Amino acid sequence: MLRIYILIASTVLLMSAGLLKADDTRIESQDIKNEKLLSIIKQPPSYVRNINYDKKWFNVLRTGIDKTREYLGNYGPLQVYIIGQESKELEDEAVGEAIIKAFCHCRHAQTKDRIPDCLKDTGASLIKRAKNNSTEAYLSYVDYADPPLAELIFINPHGFDMPYLYTRGIHEYTHVFQRGFPSTPTWMTEGSAEFLAFYLGAKNEWVNFEQSMKESMRMVQSVENDDVSLVDFEDIEKIERERPELKKYYRHIAYDAGVWAVAFLIHQSENRSVKSFTKNFYQMIGRLGWQEAVKRYAKFDNLAEFYESFEKFLEESTEQKIQMLNKLKP
């Protein structure tokens, strides 16, 4: 009797979604200019995993995701895939085939003519990458479905260090939350997700907030190129087209400078509240767009003033930077 090693933890409205590599987000869209957004829903995320893969990785990721849902709200619909091989879990072809089938029928519920190609290509690549020991975590988002669907995909999560894996769940779910609002620049998208990973990770005693921020600053200071700054990483796709030589700084600027830019932005706001940032600031983005939201939220006359002020802040001492962090409020 054929055994299907797959678990669907809850039922969710199943649509279609896109695919990309680790630590990244991408819209798979027919018209990117007309953004379709996620919303707060009652239905919890649906989980699909190969159940012969150690359940502790599922438990860690789900805990991180659930803590973030409690803080930010339950945005969706959301499908979460956890695919792993520590020894020989995927050697039985039936295991991989079950996941591929669930994945493709889920994302192409409204575009059934695309299922055959998905089974051969996009879906099959998930299993191939897991077998090749790739470690990945990313959001895949499709806005041509109605409603749009978010997918979080974790491949071989045992490859992430512990307790970092908890914060990986926080980071990736923050990207789901962000899809409830209009697009933000790359540095803000990644910086906000990283900030909440550190902040909520510390609240749950998984990481040390101050040490995590210090490590990010160390990464920023390791960049030996005075011609690259935060403003360059508003649009990673533009960098890929026009300035590909800057791609090597993606982690250092989008993530590490980005997390400090978000902390700086919160500090410049009237109440310096992290909760206000996730609620009021993102509501401003929904009404005004991110550029105007930055100006009004942090009381800058223009966007250039924000960037200039942040660059001056980066020149301050480590002690001054930590003092700024200590002034942030819940």
One domain, residues 225 and 125: no
One domain, residues 163 and 200: no
* Domain contains 44: yes
Mean pLDDT value of segment 93-116: 95
- Computed over every residue of the chain, the mean pLDDT equals 90
Residue-level pLDDT at 25: 55
Number of H helices, E strands in the chain: 15, 8
One domain, residues 52 and 162: yes
d(CA 175, CA 65): 11
* Domain contains 181: no
Residue-level pLDDT at 275: 98
State yes or no: pLDDT of 14 exceeds 80: no
Of 101, 77, 58, whose CA–CA distance to 12 is shortest?
A: 77
Mean pLDDT value of segment 205-215: 97
Peptide bond just before 185 cis, omega within 30 deg: no
State yes or no: pLDDT of 106 exceeds 60: yes
d(CA 328, CA 202): 14
Mean pLDDT value of segment 96-102: 96
Residue-level pLDDT at 6: 38
Query: Are 249 and 223 a contacting pair, CB within 8 Å?
Result: yes
* Domain contains 47: yes
One domain, residues 165 and 192: no
Can you give 5-47 as a three-state secondary structure string?
CCEECCCCCCCCCCCCCCCCEEEECCCCCCCCCCEECCCCCEE
* Domain contains 2: no
pLDDT one-digit tens code per residue, 257-301: 999 999 999 999 999 999 999 999 999 999 999 999 999 999 999
Peptide bond just before 77 cis, omega within 30 deg: yes
* % of residues, the chain, pLDDT over 90: 86
pLDDT one-digit tens code per residue, 190-200: 999 999 999 99
One domain, residues 136 and 215: no
* Domain contains 180: no
One domain, residues 80 and 221: no
Residue-level pLDDT at 4: 33
One domain, residues 15 and 164: yes
One domain, residues 195 and 104: no
- First-residue to last-residue Cα distance in the chain: 54
Instruction: Tally Cβ neighbours within 10 Å of residue 167.
Output: 25
Q: CA quadruple 4, 9, 10, 12: dihedral positive or negative?
A: negative
Residue-level pLDDT at 57: 98
* Domain contains 98: yes
State yes or no: pLDDT of 24 exceeds 70: no
Rg (CA), the chain: 20
One domain, residues 14 and 152: yes
One domain, residues 170 and 230: no
State yes or no: pLDDT of 26 exceeds 60: no
pTM more than 0.75: yes
Mean pLDDT value of segment 217-226: 94
Residue-level pLDDT at 144: 77
d(CA 53, CA 99): 13
One domain, residues 149 and 293: no
State yes or no: pLDDT of 21 exceeds 70: no
Of 55, 272, 274, 250, whose CA–CA distance to 174 is shortest?
A: 274
Q: Report the number of distinct structural domains present in the chain.
A: 2
Mean pLDDT value of segment 105-132: 95
pLDDT one-digit tens code per residue, 64-76: 999 999 999 999 9
The b-or-e profile of 60-87 (16+ CB within 10 A means b, else e) is bbbbbbebbbebbbbbbbbbbbbbbbee
pLDDT one-digit tens code per residue, 129-170: 999 999 999 999 988 788 999 999 999 999 999 999 999 999
One domain, residues 150 and 240: no
* % of residues, the chain, pLDDT over 70: 90
Last residue of a domain, one of 129, 151, 174: 174
State yes or no: pLDDT of 22 exceeds 90: no
The full DSSP string for 143-197 is SSSSS-EEEEEEESGGGSPTTHHHHHHHHHHHHHHHTTS----HHHHHHHHHHHH
pLDDT one-digit tens code per residue, 235-257: 999 999 999 999 999 999 999 99
Helix 258-268 × helix 186-203 angle, to 10° = 80
Burial class (CB in 10 A: 0-12, 13-18, 19+), 287: exposed
Residue 140 structural domain? 7-174
Last residue of a domain, one of 153, 174, 195: 174
d(CA 182, CA 138): 19
Last residue of a domain, one of 108, 139, 174: 174
